[in-house]
Amino acid sequence: GLPSLSQRDEAGDELARRAQIFASAQERYYESPMQIERGWRHHLVDTTGRTYVDMVNNVTGLGHGHPGVADAMSRQIRILNTNSRFLYRELAEYSERLLALLPQGSELDTVLLVNSGSEAVDLALRLAQAATGRKTVVALREAYHGWTMASDAVTTSAYDNPYALENRPDWVHVADVPNRFRGTYRGEAGDATVGARYAADLGADLDSLAAEGRDVAAFICESVLGNAGGVLLPDGYLRDAYARVRTAGGLCIADEVQVGFGRMGSSFWGFEQSGVTPDIVTIAKPMGNGFPIGGVITSKKIADALASQGQFFSSAGGNPLSCRVGIAVLDAMRDERLQENAATVGERLAAGFRELADRHDIVGPIHGEGLYLGVELVRDRETMEPATAEAAAICERLRELGVVVLTTSERSNVLKVKPPLTLSAESADFMVAQLDRVLTEGW
Ligand code: PMP
């Protein structure tokens, strides 16, 4: 039934309070949002008692209200929380657990813990510049890497950072985004020439930069184009791109803040999909299941270059509390077999979306893998004209029907599907059924 007047007033009051205390640039979603009271696994419950399937909260990888995380947190904060200048066992234990997830035999043997994805990217850029003694960073178009000064400078999405398209610092070079669906070069999944052409263009960029005396320190990208809606990189692109960057003397940074940590299902890290090993990996969001943890994983040699800039210290980064939370998250991922669930339920969901594409013209490419999927909505599959207004209206209607999903990409025309990894087959089917209903009935 409809929420009672007082319950609706509650959400309205909260909106009014936000309007007073928020900056206008702070994002919010939905025309008239519900007020959320609690979450459980991949469900949200609002103040009217209404439940929703949460298809978008990728920070809570284990799902909302995870008891293992809650217990670890409350136990540790009662015992000890100090900073990494002091000796305690949790920091090494958590770092070793993280390193065990990286390709064994690689040089990725050192962990620096911070508090967010933006900080992780910022630190990764600093590490690359310190280790190479160079300044230039190459980022891909349409990327989001964070809000701090440096991570924002490599954020190239016109949606997130239109200002920086005009005012980008001169140490950033923006390379073409290898999107085989709507980019400069297009083609089928198995067509290796597409990836090769984008990589060749990147190589030409690197040559020009070198000729200008701006030799590359680092190349940063998401291993799957998260901000574009989970667009998988063309075959061979990342391998070719990394080889060219390394030949030019630069380091390769994989931003795994969104696509890493088991979400892809078939691999723990996004970069494994391309058969490459980065020099620097940035991680955050799901590490703490909502508790703020971020990190950079790299080689000892690269990490030690930071010493040339003095000491590195983050007051809360790597504290006993965040490490205990991080360990509890890894335990739960293993014990609840969440990566496997991402693979099986993700495949079921993608198959459902592909079936919708057969029947509804507005559904274009289905991006991604595992529980990182994107349903791209287009007015015309040939021209790929984005169905932006339609996507927003579809999200509003889906919310009324009990599904929380939001848009992404520069064109805001991709439904981003990145739920907690606990998503059940039943909830996946529910999402597909509701989307089918909206596409059939209109919005
Ligand atoms: N990198 C990527 C790929 C991200 O998606 C994000 C967050 N959306 C960040 C970095 C920044 O993370 P945070 O919001 O934790 O600072």
Ligand 1 binding pocket mutation candidate from 121, 148, 149, 261 (most atoms within 8 A of CB):
121
Q: Provide mean pLDDT across the span 287-315.
A: 95
Residue linked to tokens 């969104």: 258
Ligand 1 binding pocket mutation candidate from 145, 147, 221, 231 (most atoms within 8 A of CB):
145
Residues contacting ligand 1 via CB (< 6 Å): 116-118, 121, 144-146, 222, 226, 255, 257-258, 284
Q: Both 301 and 172 in a single domain?
A: yes
**Taking phi first (over 0 means left), then psi (-120 to 50 degrees means alpha), and beta for anything else, what does residue 353 get?**
alpha
- Give yes or no for a contact between 52 and 403, defined as CB atoms under 8 angstroms apart: yes
Q: Both 56 and 80 in a single domain?
A: no
Ligand 1 binding pocket mutation candidate from 144, 280, 322 (most atoms within 8 A of CB):
144
Structural domains of the chain, count = 2
Boundary-marking domain end, from 273, 307, 335 = 335
User: What local confidence, expressed as pLDDT, does residue 26 receive?
Assistant: 81
Q: Both 253 and 363 in a single domain?
A: no
Q: How confident is the model at residue 416 (pLDDT cuts 50, 70, 90)?
A: very high
pLDDT at 2 over 70: no
Q: Both 57 and 73 in a single domain?
A: no
Q: Where in the sequence is the domain holding 92, given as residue range(s)? A: 67-335
Distance 118 CA to ligand 1 centre (A): 6
Three-state SS for 283?
A: strand
Question: In Å, how far are 211, 246, 293 from 216, measured between CA atoms?
Answer: 11, 9, 29
Percent of the chain at pLDDT exceeding 90: 88
Boundary-marking domain end, from 283, 315, 335 = 335
User: What local confidence, expressed as pLDDT, does residue 7 receive?
Assistant: 60
Q: Both 183 and 272 in a single domain?
A: yes
Cβ count near 189 (within 10 Å): 9
* DSSP string for residues in 173-203: EEEPP--TTTSSS---TT-HHHHHHHHHHHH
Percent of the chain at pLDDT exceeding 70: 98
- Paired with 44 in beta bridges are 39, 52
Boundary-marking domain end, from 335, 357, 374 = 335
Q: Both 237 and 380 in a single domain?
A: no
User: What local confidence, expressed as pLDDT, does residue 20 receive?
Assistant: 86
User: Which ipTM value was assigned to this complex?
Assistant: 0.99
CATH code for the domain in which residue 101 is found: 3.40.640.10
CATH code for the domain in which residue 13 is found: 3.90.1150.10
User: Hey, whose CA ends up nearest to atom 1 of ligand 1?
Assistant: 145
Atom index in ligand 1 nearest the CA of residue 117 equals 12
pLDDT at 4 over 70: no
Q: Both 192 and 286 in a single domain?
A: yes
User: What local confidence, expressed as pLDDT, does residue 5 receive?
Assistant: 52
Q: Provide mean pLDDT across the span 301-329.
A: 95
